[in-house]
Amino acid sequence: MADGPRFESTATHYASHRPGYGDAVVELLCDRFDLRADDPGARVLDVGCGTGELAVPLASHAAAVVGVDPSPAMLAAARERAGDASAESVRFVEGDDTDIGSLDALSGAFQLTTMGRSFHWMHSAATLERIRGVTDPGGGVALVSDTEWLTKGTEDWQETVHEVVAEYVDDVPDRTGPVEYDRTWGDHLRDAGFTAVESATTTERRVLDADAVVGYVLSLSFCSPETLGDRRRAFESALHERLSDLGGPFPYERAVEVVSGYV
């Protein structure tokens, strides 16, 4: 996963404009893996933790949470989030999926490893094998992902935003709408020997204003402030102008999927 530099300039926007996963997802993880703050065995590893969207809310349900990410800027934002939430049981470490084998030394083996919007950056088989090696018997792993609306959303206003991005950024991913892959995250877990693999999805209707739309786009690695460089201000101005023409607000449906399995 060692790809922290591409996210350095996105961290502030990621922390402010990427939505959390919601109480329902946290409750699902706690129920499925029997996480309780008063249980000293309830230890969580969050790989590719970003700005703490999973690690921080899970901290109130676990004896210890270790978040790992290769980006110092992301980790700084995660520590700020944890401080604001008084999440004392969580600590953050710079590293990536290749460091998983040494992370149990920070708290003991883990009852649950989570990856939110990060598994697709990793070498799946090797990462899952490392996770098995630091997981308590009866524990497991959960892969959490949500809809990336700029390329996979279906709203007309999202098409307009994509058009503006394409004017300023080279090699913008195509808009595909929803995609069904030949192999699912569940298939990867089964191949790695995880059992009782299941998928659960929550959906919600979200509404964004223009500032939230711009902030979200700047949180994407392919449209980061670093990628835009000296074109950033012109890009923001052009996008705000197009959004003003559309009138807003800007609604979309967001799905959050949790794919999990036991060791």
Superfamily of domain 4-262: Vaccinia Virus protein VP39 (3.40.50.150)
- B/e letters for 119-148, b = 16+ CB within 10 Å, e = fewer, are bebbebeebbebbbebbbeebbbbbbbbbe
Mean pLDDT of 143-159: 95
Mean of pLDDT values over 124-147: 95
Residues 73 and 89: their CA atoms lie apart, in Å, by 21
Give the pair of three-digit tokens for residue 50. 């970003």
Confidence check: pLDDT of 3 > 70:
no
| Domain parsing of the chain, residue ranges | 4-262
- Asked whether residue 5 carries a pLDDT value surpassing 80, the answer given is no
Strand, coil or helix: 96: coil
Q: Report the DSSP pairing between strands 195-208 and 250-262.
A: antiparallel
What distance in Å separates the CA atoms of residue 185 and residue 129, rounded to the nearest whole number?
14
Cis ω before 249 (30° cut-off from 0): yes
* pLDDT computed for residue 6 by the predictor: 57
Tens of pLDDT, residues 10-65: 999 999 999 999 999 999 999 999 999 999 999 999 999 999 999 999 999 999 99
CA–CA gap between residue 260 and residue 196 (Å, rounded)? 8
pLDDT at 2 over 50: no
Averaged confidence pLDDT in the chain: 93
Q: Residue 225 burial by CB count (10 A; 0-12/13-18/19+): exposed, middle or buried?
A: middle
Q: What are phi and psi of 211, to 5 degrees?
A: -65, -40
